[in-house]
Structure 1
Amino acid sequence: MASLKKDTAYYHLPGLFEFYELYRVFLPLFYEHREYFYDWCDIGSIYGAPADCLWGGGRVGFGDHDSAEILALLREYGISARLTFSNSLLREEHLSDRKCNDLCALFEEGGDQRNGVIVHSDLLLAYLKQQYPGFYFVSSTTKVLTDFEDLRGEIDREDFRYVVPDFRLNKAFAQWDTLTGWQRDKVEFLCNECCWFGCRDRKRCYEAVSRKNLGESGGEHHCAAPDAEGGYLFSKAMANPGFIGTDAIKNVYLPMGFSQFKIEGRGLGSALILEFLLYYMTKPGYQLHVREKIYLDNMLDLF
């Protein structure tokens, strides 16, 4: 990424492999019509992993778009690509996986724009640092670091450029105030999590996804949240105590010295991803313009 501006919010967007067709239309719109979008925000990266990716974790990958085309698109706009390799259950024998290594070889040499890897496993981290030193690394929220001192220790690790805390620490302002400037630079807040704030099974949920990606049995994880059957709803995420909205980003977090914000949504549909892009990045008076450029025309029928 080019030199960062302190008064700018950098969004890390979901769906590197899943939503190529959306970003193929949205990115030129974002950079050619900046008047549509807030001048205090920019794109820090787009993250994701292909379907059936052994090292994947956090959410099961759904995308299968051509990796070279994806890389070319992001290179055109100088956007960092991040491979989501946050599987927490990797063993030594998994490190030789051909598909994952081929992806690393391709994305490590992705041009002038440095790319990254979101990682959980220290075993994988050590392997990637040795084999693919061109990457930067992001500590995954799948570690579920809910104790602030544990999180502080993670931030202090030189291995990571960024660390994504558990969303339940988002409003721990008294603790955030204790961080130094360089520590704040490394914090990447997860903004729009819909998970139940009182969940105690979050780590087990991620482990179930990791196990599934490895093709191992162990049973499905059944969410015990009171309203789990409703699935992801942006309106529900907005009501979450950990939700970070645009007003808070601009008027609270940026003045505090925090500039990195992650938007989740890899396992969702592109229509909902567009709603995130509209809400977090697009001026209200231009949201219709963006919809019209992307999909809305006078012959569109919803039903």
Structure 2
Amino acid sequence: MSVKFHLPDFWSHGPLNLALIDMIKSNPEYFYDGVEIASVYGCFPPAVWNGGRNINGYASEDVIKKVLDEFNSRGIPCRFTFTNPHLTEEHMSDKFCNRLLELADNGLNEAIVNTQVVEDHIRKNYPKYKITSSTCKQIRDMDKLIAELEKDYILVVLDYNWNNNMEALAQIPEKYRSRLEVLVCPYCFPNCQRRGEHYSFLGKQQIERSTINAFQGMGGMQLNVQQEKPFLCEAINKNFLETTEFSTHVTPDTLYNKYVPLGYEQFKIEGRTIHPLNVIESYVYYMVKPEYKDMVRLKLGLSVFQPRM
């Protein structure tokens, strides 16, 4: 049995994820059988192609190389979240994003896509990349889902509203199930009618932020920027344990005793821009045996919060 987890984020949660990866190798007895880390997803700022969540700042090339090496040397792919829904052909000439693809073009790293323009650009210019179809596409129809699985994607990330619909999931042909990635702990309300609107808001915001952060990161003067208006949603402020009450939340029991026996083995944990304590709690919740939860929680917390001497 293989249970593959995809973690958030090599940029904002880099040290935490490295600590978890190393702990699984050094202390496998802490974890449920079959647990492995299949990838870490995210992006480096100020990538204008980034979507799903916003990232701020500016990552220098030296830092990018170091982060990629930390994960790749452990055999872990970094998956770029190139899912901004507002990208056009003009954006495909972006120097920063193309340089990211060049730096990580070793056959191990991957990309998540939401638009045809990005997918076509990567397939044409960087054919070594394995490409995943994003949950941002919000595919809710079974025929459309099967059609997506028939395309040349390494994985297709399910819309979270399929979660726990075991009757529907059992109807998906077995040959496709190992290529479906389940977002097990969504922070969005079930059947949220504003999810597409939120992705759109974040995409536009990322384009604006990328222009500013790139200018300042390359030594430009500080710009006066108007205060951004936040996207108002009650779910944004929920902690991990509060989201376990959602009908779309997949419990560990359901994951290991229903999904895995059906042939599902790819599971995504949300949390790119979430406080690391919430991310740690989700890791312990899904991967760690009960008798080791306190130990792992403490060790992972220290990896993030312990002062560096």
Same fold (TM over 0.5): yes
Q: CA deviation at 1:140?
A: 0.7
Question: Is residue 2:171 matched to residue 1:178?
Answer: yes
Q: Is the 8 A contact 1:17 1:63 kept in 2?
A: no
Q: Is the 8 A contact 1:88 1:121 kept in 2?
A: yes
Counterparts in 2 of 1:4-153, with a 5 A limit?
A: 7-62=1-56, 66-109=63-106, 114-153=108-147
Picking from 173, 185, 207, the partner of 1:192 is 185
Q: Is the 8 A contact 1:61 1:266 kept in 2?
A: no
Q: 2:250 — aligned with what?
A: 244
Report the Cα distance in structure 1 between the residues aligned to 2:23 and 2:58, rounded to whole angstroms.
Answer: 24
Question: Is residue 2:167 matched to residue 1:161?
Answer: no
In the superposition, the TM-score normalised over structure 1's length comes to 0.87
In the superposition, the TM-score normalised over structure 2's length comes to 0.86
Report the Cα distance in structure 2 between the residues aligned to 1:13 and 1:64, rounded to whole angstroms.
Answer: 22
Question: Is residue 2:211 matched to residue 1:205?
Answer: no
SS in 2 for 1:215: helix
Report the Cα distance in structure 2 between the residues aligned to 1:257 and 1:295, rounded to whole angstroms.
Answer: 33
Report the Cα distance in structure 2 between the residues aligned to 1:24 and 1:42, rounded to whole angstroms.
Answer: 13
Cα RMSD for the two superposed structures? 2.2
- For structure 1, the residue ranges without an aligned partner over 5 or more in a row are 1-6
Compare 94-103 and 192-201 and name the one that shifted more.
192-201
Q: Which runs of 4+ in 1 moved over 4 A?
A: 62-65
Report the Cα distance in structure 1 between the residues aligned to 2:40 and 2:142, rounded to whole angstroms.
Answer: 27
Query: What is the aligned length?
Result: 284
- For structure 2, the residue ranges without an aligned partner over 5 or more in a row are 210-225
Report the Cα distance in structure 2 between the residues aligned to 1:296 and 1:186, rounded to whole angstroms.
Answer: 34
Question: Is residue 2:266 matched to residue 1:260?
Answer: yes
Identity %: 29
The one-letter code of the counterpart of 2:36 is D
